Structure 1
Amino acid sequence: MQNILFDDSYEYRFNPNDIDISIQQISLFYLLRRLEKNEIDLFADYQRNWNLWSAIQQSRLIESILIRIPIPSFYFDSNDDGEWQVVDGLQRVTTFYNFIVKENFKLIGLEFLPEFNGYRFSELPKELQRRIEEFPLNIYLINRGTPEEIKFIIFSRINTGGIKLNNQELRFALNQGAATNLLIELAQSDEFKDATFHSINPKRMNDYEYINRFLAFYLFKIDYNGNLETFMNNCLVQINKYNSDIEHIKSVFFKSMLYSIKIFGENRFKKIDIDRIRKSRINKALFDAISVNLAWLEIPELENLVRNKEELNFEFENIFNDKYFNEAISFATNSRNKVEYRFETVFQLFKKFKL
């Protein structure tokens, strides 16, 4: 394989006139009514990450409202059904829901109104309850019609909350439907957990990111343009839009996970340290290249890899002597040329033993 001059350049190209964002001022009471009527898609989207603030952090937000300190603006996406999805302000919205609707925590650690420590919402004086409910909130609403591929860029730019959502959490919030259900099912599967040594921490949807990467490269690798985050988001958009063959996708994913164990054993998805100085861990770039290449093969080809696994693993270790391959899985791994290099290297390795 000839050496490649790696180029990590990429430019966003879209029409700014397609962006439609309106500015509104609503009362906190109005926000709560939308929550109670399930007109804000919140809890299903962020069931593992929607309640990250401590009781003190939540109490201090309520205290800010009680003493009339302005709080940052909120960003919501309006979908085709008129529902809102929280883009920026998730923990603040959750705090309002916890304290006012569910009343599942008492105020604690107040700095300016310590006399109300230990109070729930319904225990506050009526005047203070009204002050909270009538508190004005500034919101930015991304209106229907704004293209999906542009939304992810917008959300990445405006996602500035106290606990900033990562890109996978944003993708998950934006693409509810068949795509996110697929992420959940595959990430929770025994096949994925076994293949990854039960070592992928699900916090902040890290496991979903592995699955999302697999789906994107398996389904759309030919369209990869060098921007991984947008590429992964577009993958979920396309799965929802065209109702992709979900059962087939699940089948090839499970097949890939099973044969990764059969073929590579303890070395699966790991960057091998030739000098054995440090213990190897799962490498995301290797996970992409190996899992997707396995998924592209038929069962008889995979069985041939199993039969030749000793020789295959010997050559697999030798790959790490290639400095370009090591770069392609270690540094600025998202450039198109580095993606192509590592995928092609693994493809050529399998090609030697699959027949």
Structure 2
Amino acid sequence: MGLQEEIDSMRQEIRADGYSMSIGEWISLYENEEIDIHPEFQRFFRWSSRQKTSLIESILLGIPIPPIFVSQREDGVWDVVDGLQRLSTIYEFAGKLKDEDKNLIPPLVLEETKYLPNLKGKKWDDAYDTANSLSSTQRLLIKRAKIDAAILLKESDEIAKYELFQRLNTGGSIATQQEVRNCILVMVNREMFQWMKDLSQNEMFRECIALSERPLEEQYNMELLLRFLVFRNIDEHAMKGIGDLGGFLTDRMVEMAKDKNFNYKQEEDAFHKTFEILYEQMGSDSFRRYSPNKNKFLGGFLVSAYEVIALGVGYNYAELSHSHIDIRDRVKQIWTNPEYTNWSGSGTTAQRRVPRLVPFGRQMFKP
């Protein structure tokens, strides 16, 4: 198939539409539950009060707002693919925004801006504080302002929605690839997202990975869990063509989320038992560098060690549960083994490292 044929084929998979809508119409969609902004996403987006105020200022000044990208579901409801912060800011300011438990969030109070310093302390409409409320004229000005809707129709290839979400949000207001993945997972399989979220809070797992506050905020514990689920049992030949690791993890996650035969109990048992074994014998030393000269573990978490140790133990956990193998001794051996030292250096890409280290870990922890 030539380039033009590839282009023609993919263009047939995407059906899109678009038109301009008033902010009042966007608010009505939300009130009538005809649009899903996924309140779970709020934890991954980090707009400050100043950024929110800037959006309201732009609307009042007539500055054009970028389109909102949505995907039309089978039930006709629109999934927000890009524009969550813009819409949630508008809904929050208007006193309409609800959290995951459908409780109203306190209305946004604006800050002073460069061009509209009198926005400071302003609210949408507070009957008990009319002096700090917008006037009816100002509210109408906002409600009549237009924001375009770019709609990915339900006839489109389902994958197009996730591709669009990933491309529009990576490097934007979401900080990390895993936060983008979490949002995609909510759209594909909300139950699997909750299941993974619960697993990632396992105390033995968190003790073993011993991450600092910032990686935890950026959902790195969820990425490590995803790596465990994806690579624990993967065929070694499949690892040789992983290409970009981030894209590979995303694609595999979507496959798992859509797999009606995915064995949640089996994977949960493997995860819990793996980190029970590591917690009991290694604790927070599990994925730190071992210094033979000092006979101690040093530094912080190393992902290359995780790929060998967590996935090696995870692959063999059933046999290890009934054996008396000294896991700590096996871990120490890894740090002087050329197979590890040659493939774990900072200059080695994940694309080259993972296909080497995961099979190595499986052998190292074989009873």
TM value normalised by structure 1: 0.82
Structure-2 change in CA distance of 1:149 and 1:216 (3 Å)? farther
How far 1:158 moved relative to its partner?
A: 2.3
Local SS of the residue matching 2:70: strand
How far 1:137 moved relative to its partner?
A: 0.6
Task: Please tell me whether residue 98 in structure 1 is matched to residue 92 in structure 2.
Answer: yes
Letter in 2 for 1:259: I
Counterpart of 1:75 in structure 2 is 69
Counterpart of 1:9 in structure 2 is none
CA-based RMSD of the aligned residues comes to 2.9
**Please, which moves more after superposition, 145-154 or 135-144?**
145-154
CA distance in structure 1 between the aligned counterparts of 2:245 and 2:170, rounded to whole angstroms: 21
Counterpart of 1:45 in structure 2 is 40
Q: Deviations over 1:174-232 (max 9, x none)?
A: 22223212221111222322222364633132222111222121354554432322322
- 344, 350, 354: which one pairs with 1:334? 350
Please show how residues 161-310 of structure 1 align to structure 2 within 5 Å. 163-164=173-174, 166-176=176-186, 177-197=190-210, 199=212, 201-218=215-232, 220=234, 222=236, 223-224=238-239, 225-243=242-260, 244-272=262-290, 279-304=298-323, 306-309=324-327
CA distance in structure 1 between the aligned counterparts of 2:159 and 2:354, rounded to whole angstroms: 21
Counterpart of 2:363 in structure 1 is 348
Letter in 2 for 1:203: E
How far 1:47 moved relative to its partner?
A: 4.1
Aligned length: 335
CA distance in structure 2 between the aligned counterparts of 1:314 and 1:141, rounded to whole angstroms: 55
TM value normalised by structure 2: 0.80
State the percentage of identical aligned residues: 23
How far 1:251 moved relative to its partner?
A: 0.8
CA distance in structure 1 between the aligned counterparts of 2:248 and 2:72, rounded to whole angstroms: 22
**Please, which moves more after superposition, 158-167 or 95-104?**
158-167
How far 1:136 moved relative to its partner?
A: 0.7
Counterpart of 2:21 in structure 1 is 26
The answer to whether the 8 A contact 1:149-1:230 is kept is no
CA distance in structure 1 between the aligned counterparts of 2:267 and 2:250, rounded to whole angstroms: 17
Local SS of the residue matching 2:218: helix
Counterpart of 1:108 in structure 2 is 111
Structure-2 change in CA distance of 1:286 and 1:189 (3 Å)? same
Structure-2 change in CA distance of 1:147 and 1:259 (3 Å)? farther
The answer to whether the 8 A contact 2:330-2:364 is kept is yes
Please show how residues 88-167 of structure 1 align to structure 2 within 5 Å. 88-102=82-96, 104-122=107-125, 123-159=133-169, 163-164=173-174, 166-167=176-177
Letter in 1 for 2:218: R
How far 1:239 moved relative to its partner?
A: 2.8
